[in-house]
Amino acid sequence: MTRLAVIATCNLNQWAMDFQGNLNRIQQSILEAKEKGARYRVGPELEVTGYGCEDHFLEPDTFQHSWEVIGELIESRVTEGILVDVGLPILHRGVSYNCRCLIYDRRIILLRPKLFLADDGNYRESRWFRAWKRRSVLEQYKLPEDIVNITGQRTCPFGEAIIEVEDTSLAVETCEELFTVDSPHVKYLLNGVEILANGSGSHHHLRKLDQRLNLIRGATSKGGGVYLYANQLGCDGGRLYFDGCACICVNGQIVAQGSQFCLETEVEVVVGVVDLDEVTSHRVAVASRGVQAAEMEDISRITIPGFYICNSSDNGLNIVPSPPIQVRIHHPMEEIALGPACWLWDYLRRSGAAGFFLPLSGGADSSSSAAIVGSMCQLLCRAVQKGYIRVLQDIRRVCGESHDSQYVPTDARELASRIFHTCFMGTKNSSKDTKERSKVLANDIGSYHLDINVDIVVDAMVKLFCLVFGEDKMPRFRVYGGSETENLALQNIQARIRMVVSYFFAQMLPFIRGRKGTLLVLGSANVDEGLRGYLTKYDCSSADINPIGGISKVDLKTFLSFAAKPLEENGLGYASLKSITEAPPTAELEPITASYTQTDEADMGMTYEELTWYGRLRKLGRCGPVSMFLKLSQVWKHLSYAQIADKVKFFFRMYSMNRHKMTTLTPSYHAENYSPEDNRYDLRPFLYNSRWQWQFSKIDQLVTKLG
Ligand SMILES: Nc1ncnc2c1ncn2[C@@H]1O[C@H](COP(=O)(O)OP(=O)(O)OC[C@H]2O[C@@H]([n+]3cccc(C(=O)O)c3)[C@H](O)[C@@H]2O)[C@@H](O)[C@H]1O
Ligand SMILES: Nc1ncnc2c1ncn2[C@@H]1O[C@H](COP(=O)(O)OP(=O)(O)OP(=O)(O)O)[C@@H](O)[C@H]1O
Ligand SMILES: NC(=O)CC[C@H](N)C(=O)O
Which residue owns the Cα nearest ligand 1 atom 36? 535
Q: Mutate which of 361, 424, 490, 536 to test ligand 1's pocket (most atoms within 8 Å of Cβ)?
A: 536
Close Cβ partners of 643 (under 8 Å, ≥ 6 residues apart): none
CB 59 within 8 A of CB 89: no
Ligand nearest to the CA of residue 229, numbered in listed order: 3
One-letter amino acid of 360: L
Lowest-confidence segment of 61-65, 262-266, 286-290 by average pLDDT: 286-290
Q: How many CB atoms lie within 10 A of CB 338?
A: 23
Q: How many CB atoms lie within 10 A of CB 581?
A: 18
ipTM for the assembly? 0.91
pLDDT of residue 1: 65
Active-site residue among 10, 29, 34, 45? 45
Ligand nearest to the CA of residue 588, numbered in listed order: 2
Helix (H) or strand (E) holding 236, with range, is none
pLDDT of residue 312: 62
Q: Using DSSP, state whether 271 is helix, strand or coil.
A: strand
Tell me: pLDDT of 707 over 90: no
Q: Is 68 noted as a catalytic residue in this protein?
A: no
pLDDT of residue 585: 83
Rounded to two decimals, the pTM is: 0.95
Ligand nearest to the CA of residue 540, numbered in listed order: 2
CA dihedral in degrees (482, 488, 493, 498; nearest 10)? 130
The C-alpha atoms of residue 244 and residue 234 are separated, in whole angstroms, by: 8
Q: Is 677 noted as a catalytic residue in this protein?
A: no
Tell me: pLDDT of 314 over 70: no
Plot region of 247 (φ>0 → left; ψ -120 to 50 → alpha; else → beta): beta
Active-site residue among 66, 200, 361, 541? 361
Tell me: pLDDT of 119 over 90: yes
Q: Is 432 noted as a catalytic residue in this protein?
A: no
CB 517 within 8 A of CB 349: no
Give the pLDDT confidence of 441-500 residue by residue, as tens digits: 999 999 999 999 999 999 999 999 999 999 999 999 999 999 999 999 999 999 999 999
CB 257 within 8 A of CB 328: yes
Ligand 2 proximity of 245 Cβ (cutoff 6 Å): no
The C-alpha atoms of residue 473 and residue 481 are separated, in whole angstroms, by: 13
Handedness of CA 554, 557, 562, 563 (dihedral sign): positive
The whole-chain average pLDDT of the chain stands at 96
Buried b (16+ CB within 10 A) or exposed e, 285-321: eeeebeeeeeeeeebeebebeebebbbeebeeeebeb
Q: Where residue 679 falls among pLDDT bands split at 50, 70, 90?
A: confident
| DSSP secondary structure code for residue 266 in this structure | S
The C-alpha atoms of residue 149 and residue 144 are separated, in whole angstroms, by: 9
Angle between helices 625-635 and 608-615 (to 10 degrees): 120
Which residue owns the Cα nearest ligand 3 atom 5? 176
Helix (H) or strand (E) holding 495, with range, is helix 484-512
Q: Is 175 noted as a catalytic residue in this protein?
A: yes
Q: How many CB atoms lie within 10 A of CB 489?
A: 15
Portion of the chain with pLDDT greater than 70, in percent: 99
pLDDT of residue 316: 53
Active-site residue among 10, 175, 247, 262? 175
Handedness of CA 257, 261, 263, 264 (dihedral sign): negative
- CB burial class (10 A; 0-12, 13-18, 19+) of residue 554? middle
CA dihedral in degrees (448, 453, 456, 461; nearest 10)? 90
Among the atoms of ligand 2, which is closest to the Cα of residue 426? 1
Which residue owns the Cα nearest ligand 3 atom 9? 202
